Amino acid sequence: MMDSSKHPEPVHLHVTTDTLPVPMSETIKAYSEAEIAGHLFSRFQELNVAYDDVVMCMLARLELGGAFKGKRVGLAYQSKISVR
């Protein structure tokens, strides 16, 4: 995560549950741990979400017994990078 910053253009926060928030190819199952780490590192700019954006996401979805209860939540800025 990073400190709050003004984005030069509007960004869309992509929210997922129990999956990575960036697209991954089905061939990921054949990748080594090093290759997976390299792929995620190449998408670091998307995964480096501002604290303010995380807080706003949490507050907007805060409810007792809500959709995120007991789930891992992934956040990333929507990408224009295609899946290989």
Residue 14 and residue 43: Cα distance in Å, rounded?
A: 14
Reported confidence tier of residue 45, pLDDT bands at 50, 70, 90? confident
> What is the structure's pLDDT at 39?
85
Strand pairing partners for 76? 14
74 vs 84 pLDDT, higher one:
74
74, amino acid identity = G
Is residue 83 pLDDT above 60, yes or no? no
Residues with Cβ < 8 Å from 48, sequence gap 6 or more? 1, 2
Which of 28, 6, 9, 12 lies closest to 84 in space, CA to CA? 28
Is residue 11 pLDDT above 80, yes or no? no
> In this structure, what DSSP letter does residue 35 have?
H
The structural domains of the chain, with segments of one domain joined by +, span: 13-77
Q: What is the mean pLDDT of the chain?
A: 81
Is residue 24 pLDDT above 80, yes or no? no
Q: Angle at CA 67, nearest 5°, toward 81 and 9?
A: 35
